[in-house]
Amino acid sequence: MNKVINIDPEIMSGTPVFNDTRVPIKNLFDYIETGEPLENFLDDFPSVTKEQAIFVWELSESLCS
């Protein structure tokens, strides 16, 4: 998989975003914390692929284990 997370001071002031988007990674975690299904997140942010979202979620789980 290509780069999934992008951190660039020129994009959203360096906030980590999904690559090739302006969607902050934090938005995914906000949805998950409130119990929203992944499909709702993907519907609201169509520029993020399902593969990107799953990769970030699985990465966070492995880092927290």
Greatest extent of the chain over all pairs of C-alpha atoms, in Å:
32
Rounded CA separation 3/27 (Å): 18
2 — pLDDT class (breaks 50, 70, 90):
low
Give the global pTM: 0.89
Cβ neighbours of 28 (radius 10 Å): 23
The string of pLDDT tens digits covering residues 19-34 is 999 999 999 999 999 9
User: 64 or 44: which carries more pLDDT confidence?
Assistant: 44
**Cβ proximity of 39 and 54 under 8 Å:** no
